[in-house]
Chain A
Amino acid sequence: MTAQFGSTASVESGPVTKDQTNGHGANSPASSVQPAPRYRAPLDTAIIDTDIHIYFPTQDTLRSYLDERWQDYHRTYGQRGFDGSHYPRAMPNAARHDAWPEDGTPPGSNLPLMQKQLLDEWNIEVGVLNPLVGAGEQRNLAFGAAFARATNEWQVAEWLDPEPRLRASIIVPWEDGELSAAEIDRWGSHPGFVHALLIARTKEPLGRRKYWPMYEAACRHDIPIAIHFGGAAGVPITGSGYPNHYIEDHGGMPQTFQAQVISLIFEGVFQQFPTLKFVLIEGGFAWIPPMLWRMDSAWRKLGSEVPHVTEPPSQLFRRHFWVSTQPMEEPFKPEQFRQLLGQLDLDDRLLFATDYPHWDFDAPDRAFPVPLDKERRRKFMAENARLLYKL
């Protein structure tokens, strides 16, 4: 077998003018993106959207679901998380400009607008709500638990009850395994909740034992744990300190997902909880094959340190993980996307997601950069999610 390459890289090729101002006084970029006509997929399958974001329209709405003590606390002390690692989004609320309700409340806080722009517009059969409200990032864990419970009650009353196409996430105060388990037990048999929701940047890697009571509860109710893009853990967002820009925060999130997968697998979580399922949301997926190759290679050489890991990491990953599609990496050439799907070997695990109402929304007909066969389309757009979430 011969690999064919055609690269023209050269260290000597002297690029563009040196700019001592680091570009802050620079003209517009020298090269521009050539907008090629975007491939459009036929909309001939059911669609299940596994990543929709909702927010409280006002802080009063949140408070109306808190008991008196926590209402008072929230009014007085507010929300206190891990400060100092915020990257301003490229656009207000990281949202599509057209997703703002007319009354000025935040995008994702208005059910009729979401129905119009998403569920009706794209004929979505089922949509999964992932509220990123910050309950799990409260340093006051008791308040975090009350905040999580309030969020769950709000989801039932204002989203699940009025709109049968929607499903919800059990919000948990994830830094406390016992409190999280209690919240999962509270909602685990409610048919409207399909997974418990964590954020990618937890304080410690998710394989560590403090999180295990939460996994035990998830197994008790046979619901997956979802890990979503984002968060602030109080440590730098890379293994080498804080970068400067939002593009590094947003583009660097796959590294956080990789750290979580490495931790979950090497800590032996799946030997302890053989039925546990994880859903990785909004992390992309092209990083998965090389990460698994590296993990398998490391395990072959260093497995003696983790004798509880009794099978190759790639095998554990393919059994225990599901992955949402947005934002998906876009290879240079269409055949490279098909190569990627071949390397992934996760045809039964990819879950379509739009990420409404965020700026990097994936429309159902434009999400995939290349045509896919009908069977893959059916699986990715709806059937994998239907099986996982028992819809």
Chain B
Amino acid sequence: MPDPTRIDCDIHNEIPNLETLYPYLPDHWLDYCRESAFNGPDAADYPESVPISAREGSSARPDLAEVQNRALQDVEIGILNCAYRVQSVRNEDLAASLATAVNQWQVEHWLEKEPRLRASIVAPSHNPALAAKEIERWGDHPGFVQVILPVRAEAPYGNRRYDPIYSAAVKRDLAIGIHYGGAPGHPPTPTGWPSYFIEDYAGMAQIFQSQVISLVCEGAFERFPTLRVALIEGGFTWLPSLMWRIDKEWKGLRHNTPYVRRPPSEYMRTHLRLTIQPLDAPPNPLHLAQILDQCGAEDLLLYASDYPHCHDDQDILLELLTADQRKKICSANARAFYRL
């Protein structure tokens, strides 16, 4: 069976260093950056030398040539997720200017040079009004297909403070991509700061779960019925357990949130999509097949390599799929979701 066309929904283009952005910064912030010891956002989501940051022969910050040679082979369209964490820059105006610079850089160095690529708008989402402006600036550019938000934020994404972001996104038919990482200043767990990177990494799935609960239970999908949210690099095998739990909670407590009109799992199925890497797969393929079946995964999953990050082999998943399911997960779901 020939491989179906692939749309890769998670390829990373990282800013090499702050100087890369200097040509795109206004004089004021250029001076500020030069005069201060500022080196850019201090979020350390993927320290360059940890074993998952780059696969063998790849660099943690690949340039366009590397992405073309190693990630775009056999790929029809690749979606770039730049993880530059302007949200961890406390000065919101500087964060906004950095975001504009990042997006300009994405246009000039990636989108204009490689027609197979699409990109994600980086926005200062800790100030939703400024973030909305950034979305408006780029929203009509055909190369941008989503707004990328770090999964760790100051408040959960169902909170109404983020409505200007969603409003700007749905107006331009852009998706929201919630991506691994972020550094909002408070701990990554509900019980304080862990010691090790491996705990941050393993625990990131819980923050995705919290975001799903928030988006559904705070009514974001009722306020924005066309809002589409991709959960990127957070795993997906936890989705059935979350659906079961929150549906049960809703039966007991929905009088507290009357605007959540349908069982939470229905909103999840309708509005969420999840990328397939990291797989976090069980050792027994039967269990993975059960998970896929339990949440209706053929319509929810988006193929992603997460290049250059290094994760488990995805064949265990792809081999479970029928030709039709493979087509959906490898390209059709993404084509519909991102309007490609």
Contact = CB atoms under 8 A, between A and B. Distances in A.
Nearest to A259: B189
Interface in A254-302: 254-256, 258-260, 262-263, 266-267, 284, 286-287, 289-291, 293-299, 301-302
Contacts of B231: none
Given A2-B320, A3-B321, A241-B184, A259 B203 contact: yes
A140 interface: no
Given A19-B223, A252-B213, A332-B244, A293 B199 contact: no
B184 A251 contact: no
Interface string B230-253: 000001011011111111111111
B51 A336 contact: no
A205 B193 contact: yes
B152 interface: yes
Contact of A4 (B210, B235, B293): B293
Contact of B292 (A5, A30, A240): A5
Interface stretch (A73-81, A122-130, A185-193, A195-203): A195-203
B155 A240 contact: yes
A6 interface: yes
Contacts of A16: 222, 225, 261-262
A245 B294 contact: no
Contacts of A236: 186-187, 190
Contacts, number: 355
A2 B261 contact: no
Interface stretch (A48-56, A63-71, A145-153, A323-331): A323-331
Contacts of B213: 243, 248, 251-252
Nearest to A256: B190
Given A205-B189, A293-B237, A336 B201 contact: no
Contacts of A360: 252
A43 interface: no
Interface stretch (B18-26, B29-37, B157-165): B157-165
A238 interface: yes
A37 B291 CA distance: 26
B259 A23 contact: yes
A359 interface: yes
B296 interface: yes
A235 interface: yes
A8 B295 CA distance: 11
A9 B296 contact: yes
B152 A240 contact: yes
Contact of B192 (A202, A267, A327): A202
Given A259-B203, A262-B202, A286-B240, A9 B194 contact: no
Contact of B290 (A248, A254, A336): A336
A243 to B, nearest CB: 5
B84 to A, nearest CB: 19
Interface residues of B, number: 114
A294 B235 contact: yes
B226 A201 contact: no
Contacts of B238: 287, 290-291, 294
Interface in B168-189: 182, 184, 186-189
A3 B325 contact: yes
B221 interface: yes
B43 interface: no
Grouping DSSP codes into helix (H, G, I), strand (E, B) and loop, the A interface class, with mixed when no group exceeds half, is: loop
B1 interface: no
B322 interface: yes
Interface stretch (B74-82, B104-112, B136-144, B281-289): B281-289
Interface string B286-311: 11111111111111100000000011
B190 A294 contact: no
B17 interface: no
A181 interface: no
A297 B289 contact: no
B278 interface: yes
Interface stretch (B4-12, B56-64, B88-96, B263-271): B263-271
Nearest to A21: B259
A1 interface: yes
B51 A301 contact: yes
B260 A29 contact: yes
Interface of A: 1-16, 18-20, 22-24, 26, 28-31, 33, 90, 200-208, 233, 235-248, 250-252, 254-256, 258-260, 262-263, 266-267, 284, 286-287, 289-291, 293-299, 301-306, 327, 329-332, 336, 339-340, 342-343, 359-360
16 contacts: A22-B160, A26-B258, A207-B195, A239-B187, A239-B204, A240-B210, A251-B245, A254-B241, A255-B207, A263-B191, A294-B238, A299-B198, A329-B244, A332-B265, A339-B294, A360-B252
3 cross-chain pairs, A with B, having the tightest CB-CB distances, nearest first:
A23-B259, A7-B296, A286-B241
